[in-house]
Amino acid sequence: MHRGLFDFGRSHASRRQVLFGVSAEVHAGECLAVIGASGSGKTTLTRIMLGLAAADSGNIEYRGEGVGRGSAGSRALRAESAIVFQDPFGSLDPRWTVERSVSEPLWLRRRALGFAADEVEGKAAQALARVGLDPRVFLGRYPCDLSGGQAQRVAIARAIVANPRLILADEPMSAIDVAARVQILETFQSILSGEGSGAVDTATGQPIRPAIIMVSHDLGVVQHIADRILVLREGHVVESGPTDAVLGSPQSDYTRQLIAAASL
């Protein structure tokens, strides 16, 4: 059986069960969208998938390795994953320049990544260029100098600067205007393709194409970027499959309700 980049078993919380028989996987170069109403279990699921919370039962694997406290899989997942949060201004330190914010992951892991100190600024500039921001203009700016769309692209640049294999995008477009959403969408599509990263998998010699797990209420965004969709309701998976099939021919009443609500 082909093994995905990330395989996830089921989980339940110790005091109150939050997820029930959930199974999900995401592969390199693929976007998995997790959708559902508030309280459906999206946050719990994605926190477990990123190793930020522990599951009480079931199996979690990352690149074929089990993820558990102190395990090789857990260390690899922590080193090779990144998060883009909903509110870019809340995730960027207002005291730091764009250059410092974007380069921070490199400084934290510079030796492990094999970068010389004088390479870090160049990598930060490259990451900014990948998200469509001119480094000559933006490296010296502060968050207060940025629009919402620009700030979110800076946050994405910070997430991709160390060439992660897995990115969690948690409602990355809900706090920005419609015009900026198009730019952010194009940025994520470029990231999925591995375009401009320069990172190569030493085992295969192929460009590293990260996987993206995207939590979103915006089904228009999901339709344009997600390869597959997982629909959660009160901790249960009510539907999952290719994006065209789930949105074009939904099998559950709940999914049809989500689509109808998004069309209003």
Residue 192 phi/psi, 5-degree rounding, is -60, -35
Residues in the chain: 264
Residue 61: the pLDDT is 87
Are the beta carbons of 254 and 238 closer than 8 angstroms?
yes
Same fold, 1-80+218-264 and 88-163+166-209: yes
This prediction has a pTM of: 0.87
Phi-psi domain of 255 (left: phi exceeds 0; alpha: psi -120 through 50; beta: other): alpha
Closest CA to 31 of 98, 89, 84: 84
130 alpha carbon, distance to own chain's centre? 16
- Tell me the domain boundaries of the chain: 1-80+218-264, 88-163+166-209
Q: How confident is the model at residue 15 (pLDDT cuts 50, 70, 90)?
A: low
pLDDT at 5: 52
* Range from 55-69, 95-109, 226-240, 242-256 carrying the lowest mean pLDDT: 55-69
Mean pLDDT of 241-261: 94
Residue 122 has pLDDT above 50, yes or no: yes
Domain 1-80+218-264 sits in CATH at: 3.40.50.300
- Residues 152/92, Cβ–Cβ less than 8 Å: no
Q: How confident is the model at residue 116 (pLDDT cuts 50, 70, 90)?
A: confident
pLDDT at 9 over 50: no
* CATH code linked to domain 88-163+166-209: 3.40.50.300
Closest by CA to 190, choosing from 169, 217, 163, 209, is 209
